[in-house]
Amino acid sequence: MKNQIKIFYTKDWPDYELLDTGEGEKLERFGPYIFVRPCEDAVWPKASTKEAKEAWVKADGKFWSSKVGAKAGWKMEKKITKKWEMSYKGIKFLASPTPFRHLGFFPEQAIHWDFIEAKIKSTEAGLPQNGEKKINFLNLFGYTGVASLFALRAGAEVTHLDASKQTLAWAKENQNLSGFENLPMRVIEDDALKFLEREAKRGNKYDAIIMDPPKFGRGPKGEVWKIEEMLPKLLTAVQKVLSDKPLFVILTSYAIDSSSLSLGYALEEMMKNFKGTTDVGELCILEKSNNRIIQLANTAVWSV
């Protein structure tokens, strides 16, 4: 791995825009709605143009962080649909404000969705076309499953895991919305480490894995997850379910305060027995008002 941090971001997404940032907030358009959400690293003034000022004032809702002394949660200025349809490059999924400030997906991860589909498609094209062998894709901490849908469309067999029953139901809604209900996707409610341990004992292997572990969480049976303690254990467990010829592994974190290089070193160590390269960097969104590149997460990608 080269000690070089890359900038990853996607342009030209009609359904989503980062309109402006500043003063600890970001202004975003999700389909027909505009929302204000916290962005603690935005330590500069908001854009001063008439268009930007009007957009901030006309926002449909705002998520208040407990850090500012207000009651945490969403305050809607206008009535919005509970869930509404969005799409990215033909994949459809539902958006909705959640109690955790998110809206059911992370726009900055679109660059990973592109990578997943392209990598699986190019590999699938070289496999026997008799249906006996397909890329086995594992989405750990899979949330509402947008990454899983891109893997499905590319031709992979998908295992989608999350500890939240409600979130998994949302993932199934997204699968059906995109018309992929007949494509092979296992949806599993489980603690990630316990699942990986059982898969290793069963001898089940995966060619491609994506994981976005939270800073803190609980499994379906109350298992406590703290990323500082659990990430090394997670990577050791993942190593045991890799196929003999893995295609890629993606690790993303919104929690680790250190550089994305730390993720890269950890991932590179996990993959040291395989020939491939590791890229590290920041997942970003291009801001419309000032053309800034706004960093939102750290990531590391190992691939052949």
Q: Which residue has the tokens 């990853």?
A: 8
- Residue 227: CB atoms within 10 A of its CB come to 16
CA atoms within 13 Å, Cβ hemisphere of 208: 31
Amino acid 153 reads R
Task: Indicate whether 29 belongs to any domain.
Answer: no
Report the distance separating Cα 84 and Cα 93, nearest Å: 8
pLDDT at 160: 98
Task: Indicate whether 293 belongs to any domain.
Answer: yes
pLDDT at 2: 74
How would you label 106-137 residue by residue, b for 16+ Cβ within 10 Å and e otherwise? bbbbbbbbebbbebbbebeeeeeeeeeebbbb
Task: Indicate whether 139 belongs to any domain.
Answer: yes
- Residue 49: CB atoms within 10 A of its CB come to 12
Task: Indicate whether 28 belongs to any domain.
Answer: no
Task: Indicate whether 100 belongs to any domain.
Answer: yes
Task: Indicate whether 275 belongs to any domain.
Answer: yes
pLDDT at 158: 98
pLDDT at 127: 74
Q: Measured between alpha carbons, how far apart are the two ends of the chain, in Å?
A: 13
Give the domain range for residue 173: 5-9+82-303
Task: Indicate whether 277 belongs to any domain.
Answer: yes
CATH code of the domain in which 127 resides: 3.40.50.150
**8-state DSSP, 59:** -
pLDDT at 215: 75
| Global pTM value | 0.94
User: Across the 304 residues of the chain, what is the mean pLDDT of every consecutive 10-residue run?
Assistant: 88 95 98 97 96 96 80 92 97 96 97 98 76 88 97 97 96 98 97 96 98 75 70 95 98 82 94 96 96 96 97
Q: Which two tokens stand for residue 243?
A: 């196929």
Q: Residues with Cβ < 8 Å from 299, sequence gap 6 or more?
A: 8, 112, 250, 251, 252, 253, 260, 263, 280, 281, 282, 283
Tally of domains in the chain: 1
- Strand intervals (E) in the chain: 5-8, 16-22, 25-30, 33-38, 61-64, 73-76, 84-88, 91-95, 136-140, 157-162, 185-189, 208-211, 216-218, 224-226, 248-253, 277-286, 293-303
Task: Indicate whether 189 belongs to any domain.
Answer: yes
**8-state DSSP, 144:** T
